[in-house]
Structure 1
Amino acid sequence: MLNDMLALIRYSVPGARAEEFMEQATSILGTLSAQTGYRSGHIGRSVDEPGLWALVSEWEGAGFYRRALSAARMDMYPLMTLMINEPSAFEVLVSNP
């Protein structure tokens, strides 16, 4: 697990676009899950701020994640305006399965 990584992409989604977001995020997750090095993924929404959503995925390493982003670029494009601009790749330092 030394090179494992966690990807966290956060989105600010207006309530009127929640259904559209869910459909597109599900498509992105499907594309990511078909890529080499993918371990798992989730789509979540903040319980405190319903307009804050997250697309979370786990990878065998940063290289796998970066290549997967290239493969998912077209799926991700429609949601780019909703993305919160911040780092998304995190190295796993401790894991408790």
Structure 2
Amino acid sequence: MLVVNRFRAGEDPDGLRADLERVHRLLAEQTGYVDGWVGRNVDDPGLWTLTTRWANVGAYRRALSSYDLKLHGVPVLSRAIDEPGAYEVVEPGGMLNVAESRVT
């Protein structure tokens, strides 16, 4: 699973960078984290991203509920541009996610 959160730097790009690096470190400590990075758009340097890969959607959701992420991560992540950010990784010829209720 791939998570892409995009941010506008506004007046404090150095502060945003530090915040994103801290959140990335916190996420990287969580079970199910695969890899990730902080990025900046080459054409619009005010546009930043925090991109992470996870073993599955459950691992990502559990990571967000950890104490440190609730305390330090959620305030930063809540500043992301309001758009869907969770993606499935599409493998050649692989099955795609089906939009249906997962409650049993």
Q: Shorter-chain TM-score category?
A: 0.7 to 0.9
Counting aligned pairs with the same residue, the percent is: 37
Gaps of 5+ in 2: 93-104
- Could you say which structure has the larger radius of gyration? 2
Per the normalisation by structure 1, the TM-score is 0.83
- Say whether residues 1:92 and 2:89 are aligned partners: yes
Across the two proteins, how many residue pairs are aligned to each other? 90
Cα RMSD (Å): 1.6
Distance in 1, matches of 2:90 and 2:74, equals 31
Identify the residue that residue 27 of structure 1 maps to in structure 2: 22
Contact 1:13–1:82, Cα closer than 8 Å, also in 2: no
Gaps of 5+ in 1: none
Structure with more contact order per residue of length (Cα contacts < 8 Å, sep ≥ 6): 1
Per the normalisation by structure 2, the TM-score is 0.78
1:47-72 deviations in whole A, cap 9, x for unaligned? Answer: 11111100000000000011112222
Q: Which runs of 4+ in 1 moved over 6 A?
A: none
Contact 1:10–1:53, Cα closer than 8 Å, also in 2: yes
